[in-house]
A and B are shown apart, each in its own frame.
Chain A
Amino acid sequence: MKRNPKDLDAAHGKMTRRALFLGGLQLAFAGGLAARMRYLQVDQADEFRLLAEENRINIRLLPPARGQIFDRNGLIIAQNSPSYRITVVPEDAGDVEAVIAKLSSLVPLDPEDLERARTEMRRSPPFLPITLADQIGWEDISKVAVNAPALPGVTPEVGLTRVYPQLGDFAHVIGYVGPVSDYDLSKMEDPEPVLMIPRFQIGKVGFEAKREDVLRGKAGAKRVEVNATGRVMRELDRREGISGADMQLTIDAELQNYVQARLGRESAAAVVIDCEDGDIRAICSSPSFDPNLFVRGISVADYRMLTEDNYRPLSNKTVQGTYPPGSTFKMITALAALENGVVGPEETVWCPGHLKVAGRRFHCWKRAGHGHVDLNTSLKRSCDVYYYDVAIKTGIDKISEMANLFGLGIKHDLPMSAVAQGITPTKEWKSSSYGKDWLIGDTANASIGQGYMLASPLQLAVMSARIATGRSVTPRLLKSLDGVEQPSGAGEPLPVSENSLRMVRRGMYSVSNDRRGTAYRSRIAPKEMEMAGKTGTSQVRNITAAERAAGVIRNEDLPWERRDHALFVCFAPYDKPKYAVAVVVEHGGGGSKAAAPVARDVMLQALYNGTPPLEAYPKADRSRIKAQQERLERERVKRPLGSRSSRA
């Protein structure tokens, strides 16, 4: 085919033009691409650089070590121990099931844990470690470590967990920690990120919960570089956390241990407080429980055992429990009467065994009556009629005012859970709480610590300390925080005349040192340590007229929960008070029989700073006391030795 060269040239010219046109378009497009590149890489570079860093860098929290808690002598009460767990990285394990089978032949694995681990494995990328078993003993973890070559991908890991070596002794004081729960988080306004660490432990009750702020510490963090699937490539930098502050309590762990043992299986509470500076030397609620059970989550069976126990081991009777103070309140009524000039120290009241108040008979515990009773005798023999009489003359408001002065009806600021305020009734209080007028009979009831009157064992101990010193001693539980000594509880002199106080102390002295005193049998023998005290027996039921007619039923014949509470408060030495003690034995019967001996033993233990010599006891008691001391010694030694020798 021959063509016209002219046409061909024309066609070529057209093509050249179009080729140049297309080339121009292409250049323009390339220019557009370059402009876009400039926009992304130059104009927006900073923003994208930031996004790239966000992609690349993950921040991992490092849990801080919780502050440790010591007793006043440096004995450890709450510590952090290494806890071991076994993890497996499925990717490294290869055949995971084979590895698990091999592992379970070495150490016992919980099927429930395994099921959870398998579910987790299906969901997470294969390079992330999965926990197979938690809280493994040292022996098991060694077995795993020794067999490591046969267990690909399996790593024994170490973390920190809370341990309470004193077991039940401090369960009520410092409480316990537990893994943070969704419920805990829901209660917080703005939870710290560290709480999101799985199984991070926080204080649940008691001191651990109250001082969570300082005990927890500050979380550290490490920045790691991760790839797109979240695998950690390397650690970029790390900022260690700040450990929680160490705490020292005013409690003497040795004494605490003794008191706990002395209370035994009774449902009881005992508080030992330093009269001068308010330091709580021991504060025990019985029965107790092992707080370590709660640290990793208590089993349903164990928990049911604790909650279904009539003796309520979980409640802290020392500060949460409030009881009618009974006759231990009589010092307050006496002081109110004396201070208001209602009765003189030598004045007597006639006790025929009862007093008619507003047409109703108020009985004295002694039906035959005490005859002529002065202040000293009224305390010594715990005559009720004397107090009905002077209280009605004084008036309830003045009595309550006096009670508040001595720490009753006052919420003491202690870092413990649910510290009770108790009740010191006034006319206004009754009308606002019950909408009823105050009756004169209410005053009679209140005068002997019954009726509306309620006080916690801690308050009773504080009351005794204040009577002993005449100063407004405040209880102190925290001795030092992070090495800084906390303010002492020594207080100002109370606005009560020394004369009245001396009279009341003298009466209390008679209670335990006069042959006719209600607690004479629980006296302390050495002259320089003599104890002043007051018994109390508070009714938990009304004695009906029919019952009274039939003769009051003896406590021993009643079911346990209807028996009277036994109380005893005291301080010693009488001349130079060092400690005040309050003991409440729930449904223990009479205060002189159930509470006073316990208080005396505890007082001696505190005064001698250890087991007292038998000479400290009255001669007649010594053989019995010797047997008791030996028994308690045995019971106290039963506890694991290792846990008691970790002196810090």
Chain B
Amino acid sequence: MKTFVIEEFYVDEQNRCNFYTVKFDDEDVSETVKFFESYDVEGHEFRDDVLYITVLIEEIAAKGSQIIYRPRDEARALALPPEKMIREINLEYTGNNLRLYYVELRTNIWLLLGGGIAHNLPKGNPPIAFHEAQYFVKKAVEAYNIEYKIHDGRVIPANGTEIIIY
């Protein structure tokens, strides 16, 4: 059995969107920290990509998720990926050569799942495989419904901080 906890990643009262991340209980750091540790490295070929994502997170935090996710009626129909997603939630990616996966629990609460090289590139090896990510999302949604409350742009654990994933 493996469990993970939800940690604050970039949560601030000034933010219009707060970011959380996930950490498996047998790991020292969260999946998102692993992502940054892997690519925010001097001389890494994809360092610019991870720094672009860093700025994008800052911009979304400051201005809100609508800067990349427009409140248009058609938006959800066009969300990627289209077919194999569970219905309640979107999982999208950002970046060029890298993908940082996230779940939008609310427009102002995003859960970062970690990431890696884009799965459609030759070296693509996102740490969380796509189907696993969807299962992960499903569990996060269950947890969101059962064990966590969302209040004032923050995720508040109600029944402990652990979520069983498998």
**A and B are partners in one complex rather than unrelated chains:** no
B residues near A (Cβ < 8 Å) are none
